[in-house]
Structure 1
């Protein structure tokens, strides 16, 4: 990836993936596990995963909880890799990856017990957030649950937005707790559970917990030995540190309004 990716202009998540980072969520693996605890998946239930990437989380869900997963992913190369990974895992009967856009979920007619979206909504405009959340509502069973893991802003919103845009090359627009609740409510979703915490995406301790010691060492070596990659990652890390009091993560579980 580093050979073809323009590291000067690439979005932050692609840059970190080029460094070998697999967990790209602001609250890390621990926050995602909290979502799964709330979900209480049961065998045979169905999950729609937005931006399924290489299919790794879909494979984990199917293996751990015996659920059926449909993932939607826009990047054709990621779709091909995800299907290869799923085939190698022997899970083609339980996981389907669809090449498509999260703004065109109408192509999927099925309704699901769960919709999972991690680090997806933050990167959308207000109109984009509203459109995706409405589509999520429309794809949930009446008793379904929406599981979300996103970036949280706690203060200095305009300065945070500007810094993030410069650092991660994406018009990232995290919301406050109350705003996340409000945009969900507008789409007909009620937040039932929520948890917030520090944003630790490039925190060394969280990296070790998420990637393991060996994985973290490999990531650090790639960053240290690749000057353009090092420059971008350092820029992101400085931005996160600059706004460490203003940024965090939020995980929440929403249900369809009755």
Structure 2
């Protein structure tokens, strides 16, 4: 089985597949808004060593790979896409990890069974109701004193013009073929605190998913060569990626990668 055919949504055309899976077809391995450095800062802030970890929507498994090599007590991934489950299972199984096929809103896992719940670039893709349901499930899964670590797409500044924000979201949804709903820092904080969490740590990184410098940092030289080669060979793939890059560049002053670690109160 080829790499592209093993990816989620491999049965969909390049023109209709979700943007992040199109980027994966191009050869990108890091699909988080703030890049690999922000993910690593978030994992450090969550203090994962020796703890029981649950990760929502691990996708390609890049973050899962980082987590299971941190000396964690246990790892359980939760993904609704069977292809992602198989891919991540192959990464974490040698380290004693498992991956289940379920929705983040309704994992079926026992309550208070994790010390850290991780979710990246998945709340952004949900509407208000689904965001609240997923965060509530993270709260249910965590032991008191445990933390929820997220890495999402943010809007900036906090007082961004509502019409601009609405137009940005609509253009983003059209471009990436997902109803993306990025939020401002204050709005992301509210999503967490409304569920009972206490925000403990927050950090930002430029939303530079398709910039040459970010790709070199995240993918390495060989990875960049791989991506360029794939784009040269496939004109439909190239067209989609350039379309996404154009949208990201248009709104770059108002998009940011945001990572937050929030704690479930101990009492």
> What range is the shorter-chain TM-score in?
over 0.9
Give the corresponding residue for 1:16. Answer: 23
**What is the Cα deviation at residue 66 of structure 1?**
3.4
1:35 pairs with 2:26: no
CA contact (8 A) 2:172 2:247 kept: yes
For residue 82 of structure 1, report the CA deviation from its aligned partner. Answer: 2.5
**TM-score, normalised via structure 2 length:** 0.90
Alpha-carbon contact 2:49-2:70 (below 8 Å) kept: no
Deviation at 1:56, TM superposition (A): 4.0
How far did residue 4 of structure 1 move?
A: 4.2
Taking the aligned partners of 1:214 and 1:41, their CA distance within structure 2 comes to 30
Please tell me whether the aligned partners of residues 199 and 244 of structure 1 are also in contact (alpha carbons under 8 angstroms): yes
In structure 1, the residue matched to 2:92 is: 86
RMSD: 1.5
Query: TM-score, normalized by length of structure 1?
Result: 0.93
Q: What is the Cα deviation at residue 196 of structure 1?
A: 1.8
Partner of 1:256: 264
Contact in 2 for aligned 1:124/1:171 (Cα 8 Å): yes
Cα distance in 2 between the residues matched to 1:255 and 1:103: 19
Pairing partner for 1:170 from 167, 178, 181:
178
Is 1:241 aligned to 2:243, yes or no?
no
Partner of 1:149: 151
CA distance in 2, matches of 1:232, 1:81: 24
Contact 1:198 1:248 in 2 (8 A): yes
1:82 and 1:247 mapped to 2: Cα distance?
29
Is the 2:48–2:70 contact (alpha carbons within 8 Å) kept by the matching residues of 1? no
Q: CA deviation at 1:17?
A: 0.6
1:46 aligns with 2:49: no
Provide the rounded CA distance (Å) in 2 between the counterparts of 1:56 and 1:244: 25
Contact 1:153–1:174 (CA under 8 A) maintained in structure 2: yes
For residues 228 and 4 of structure 1, what CA distance do their matches in structure 2 show? 15
Encode CA deviations 1:120-164: one digit per residue, 9 max, x unaligned: 100000111111111111111101011010000123211110110
Alignment of 1:71-150 (within 5 A): 71-87=77-93, 90-91=94-95, 94-105=96-107, 107-110=108-111, 111-150=113-152
| Distance in 1 between residues matched to 2:90 and 2:44, nearest whole Å | 29
Tell me if structure 1 keeps the 8 A contact 2:57–2:104.
yes
Provide closer, same or farther for how the CA distance between residues 113 and 170 of structure 1 changes in structure 2, counting only shifts above 3 A: same
